[in-house]
Amino acid sequence: MVMAEGMAVLRQNRPGTKAQDFYNWPDESFDEMDSTLAVQQYIQQNIRADFSNIDKILEPPEGQDEGVWKYEHLRQFCLELNGLAVKLQSECHPDTCTQMTATEQWIFLCAAHKTPKECPAIDYTRHTLDGAACLLNSNKYFPSRVSIKESSVAKLGSVCRRIYGVSFCRQAGVRTV
């Protein structure tokens, strides 16, 4: 909560808030954000302001830890990719989309199984996003949203490679890129 023209600004969407009123508060500079979730809030604020301005969305505030910046962007990407996964469920069924493919020759193997194996595309998507969420929410690797050890930052590349397959999939006539 911050003071704006003598009034407190509540920065949350209350139950029952109409869609057109969501996030209907003034933007804050990164320096004004006083929370352990400031990086997430800043990224989401920039996306809401203009989702097509990729340079602005990807530009970290001065002095921002690069590992935290990458981590929060990956969390946001997974959050938005879950919305796509929900939409794909109506188009992509295990009996019609039997494999997760990038091309006719390139089939993704699902790492969620004891031994990586082929999975129906929608299951691969669910398994991959579940695995990413488990890692990104792991207190073992990411106990803080303010600072992240280099050994934990190294794990982000693996998540990126796996979710890239979901973001670039071509299943049941659905093109996601």
Residue 92 annotated as binding site: yes
Angle 30-35-40 from CA coordinates, rounded to 5°: 65
Cβ contact 154:144 at 8 Å: no
Residues 6+ apart with CB under 8 A from 23: 13, 48
Give the pair of three-digit tokens for residue 49: 């302001």
- In one-letter notation, the amino acid at residue 74 is L
Cβ contact 11:1 at 8 Å: yes
Residues 6+ apart with CB under 8 A from 98: 118, 120, 121
- Which residues are documented as binding site for Zn(2+)? 92, 97
Binding-site residues sit at: 92, 97
